[in-house]
Structure 1
Amino acid sequence: MKLSLRILLGYFLVVGLTGLFALIIVVREVKPSVRETIEETMVDAANLLAALASADLLAGRLAEGNFATQVRAYAQRKVDAPIWHFHKTSLDFRIYVTDAAGRVVFDSDGRAVGEDYSRWNDVRRTLSGQYGARSTPLEPGEDASSVFHVAAPVFDDAGRIIGSLTVAKPVASVDPIIGRAERSITRYGLMLVAASLAVGLFMTMRLSASVGRLQHYAREVSEGRPAEVPASGARELNDLAQAMALMRQKLEGKHYVERYVQALAHELKSPLAGVRGAAELLGEADLPVGPRMQFARNVTEQSVRMQALIDRMLLWSRLAAAARRAATAPFDAVAAVRQACAKRGALASGREVALDLDLPDAPLTLLGDGGLFELAVGSLLDNAIDFAPPASHVTVTVSGSGREVVLTVRDRGPGIPDYAQPRIFERFYSLARPHGGRGSGLGLALVREIAQLHKGRIEVANHAGGGVIATLTLPGPPAG
């Protein structure tokens, strides 16, 4: 299971399920809370009415007295009360009074007068001096048909209980309030849970994206490609990325030394062996002048080869240091190409090769290391001049737009053999030159490293008209 999915599931279990659990509890508490509020109000009403009914009950004229008249008038009143989101249009209290024996002596509905209510909890408990209340469904098993009954004692002047007064209210009259409250709480609760999950999904996606950038960075590092240290909004992930970058620098420094010391030692073995053999032969006193001169030339050629190898290795060291610095100074690509061509003018003349330049008059600005860019151009020129036949031309072209600068170097030499195409960018791999000898095998590899350092690319292929064309493409500076 992916880390992002695990985080989202964990967040849902902690926040989502907790929110749903809290929502269920709140919804379940709505109905009893509303009923408790109604019952509390009914207690006040029952005690107030019991105090008003005491005089008529004590005088034995409750059914015809002033209290009964006022209660009947209450039942006939019209009401139109918009209470927040509930519109009340009826008065729902039913009021009945019993004597001390529990027999009904007054009923606002007129249906229970004379009946014995002494067994009902509201009457029985009130007459015994306790709090009396009950909830009785009109239809068995149907909670919606229940009626609240709250009773209060009726006292005489001496404080003795002479009866009970009950206020009754059907549950159905408050069900719209309860239903609306439950719906509102459920709706907003689910919206809150959904918002929490959306926030969790957003945070999970951000975290996954940050981890994904770290994974991409690690893959690029493992494959030896240059990569920028990823940044994220989380300080811990930034610290991890910086730690990975530091580890990369230390490992690359160690591997760089090991790899290139081994490569240099391997490449120097052959010329050193040649120098040693020639030196031993030159030490013979009876060696003829002709062979002596030949062996002396061999010593010079192998020394030059070793010097070229050492110079290239120093260039690799400079390139590695530049990669760690990630320099981004502006420089003129056209001027760098002109300078590289000027430095190789003598070499081209010595090989009877003409350099044809097709460069724009206006400067083309790039961001990066201008010295390394000139080095890449020089390496492409060295290869082209080495493989160009006498009396031929090497064409150097530079073109650019706001988005990228393109350099092409074309020679008219024999081209790249098919078997060598996959290996031309390998370090220390080189082909025999038409004039004899071999290169260091580091030129094109060096150009590729410089191109990658500048987030560009290098392509080398046989030209349809003969020879080889190398195309170095680097991105232009960002707008603004």
Structure 2
Amino acid sequence: MSRRSRIFLGILLIYAAGIAFLLYRVVGDIDPRYRESAEESLVDTSQFMASLIEQDVIAGAINTARLEPLFRSVYARQFSAQIYNLHKNRVELRVYVTDRTGRVLFDSLGRATGADYSRWIDVSRALAGVYGARTSRDVEVDPRTSVMYAGAPIRWNNEIVGMVSVGKPVQSFGQFVEDARARTLWVGVGSAFALLVLAIIVSVWLVRPFGLISDYVRWTRAQKSLSLTRMARRALDALRGGFGEMRDALTGRNYVADYVQTFTHEVKSPLSAIRGAAELLQEPSMPQHEREHFLANIERETRRIQEIVDRMMELTALETRRTLERTQPVALATLLDELVASAQGAATARGVRVALDLRATPLTEGDPFLLRRAVSNLLDNAIDFSPAGSTVLLSLEADAKQARVAVRDHGPGIPDYARDKVFEKFYSLARPNGQKKSTGLGLAFVKEIAALHRGRIELANAKGGGAIAVLTLPLSSGH
């Protein structure tokens, strides 16, 4: 994965992590806020009930006689209330009253009358004259049966003679919590997705004023016959191109800085050689043969700089092409046969033979010029690293979905330290027999061409010595 892609994915991961953390905090804060709201209402209700019961206190004795028919009537009421997404048709409020010792005098549900509740925190604190509340489960192992209680003291002549506690099942407002969580998650995820789509659209339009849709329509018009498979594949290529352009728009400054840094590093050595030779040529007493030697050095290093600049311009132009503008069926067997014929001259000069092994005659969809350049680069590399008297084998095979072009040499192979670097820009291994290093852009060029054709390039050491490069390409839909 390139540095640009890593930076871009890092930005996306940071963005996703930020959104996820924000949603986690917001969703996690919903339940406490609802509980606080429900508890505040229970406090009001408990104070109201305490004031009501105080009206029936006689000589410090609490009389709960009228509470039983009251709650029996309340629980029997029939109504229908639609509260947003919640339908309510019964009263779920609970009330119990204790004396000053914490013994239950009245329980609206009729379950705990006579029980000792003095250890419950809402009872003990209310009887002590301070605010007390608790949340307990009706069924210990089932959290859905939790009930929230808030207590209030019952006074007679400024003396606490008992307490009343008002409870409400958590499940009654838990539906609001779940609904709020679901809505928050949907809104958060939807907003994040919309923002990401907006960033893609803005980035694509900043880099390509005519947009991906215009490119796709222009490509469709240029086709002699339309195929749904090819159209879908082209659409996917366009989307992948948009992704790449957004990545470059976000990380373009780093990308340019990397290019400038590596380019400066590569031309520094030949420029130093040219400068040194030029200074020496200013010596009037220099012998003619040495002068010719330094002039040859200047010419060689100048050609090297020119080659680096030309290759770099080609590679940069290739990297800005997210999709192939025009494609056509390419007969790989014919293309390889032509390349072998054209490479024989350079191979013979080095005492190397180039052989061709065609095990299939597949068609691929692509740009024949770029494919020819890619395989030609692989052949040139193999010839450069091959010892005299050896053979470079160019082979072609295919299965139901893809074709594989392999270039095998019998050179020194790839050192372990270079296996992960061979496709990096400006990375080059020393040629055998004292030959100078190449520009280090050839394999990067091949990699870009393979990506444009929805293929891949792999380079590894071959069994028995040497290296083997395999260019894998998808077959044409009509093949």
TM-score (norm 1): 0.49
Larger radius of gyration: 1
What is the TM-score normalised by the length of structure 2?
0.50
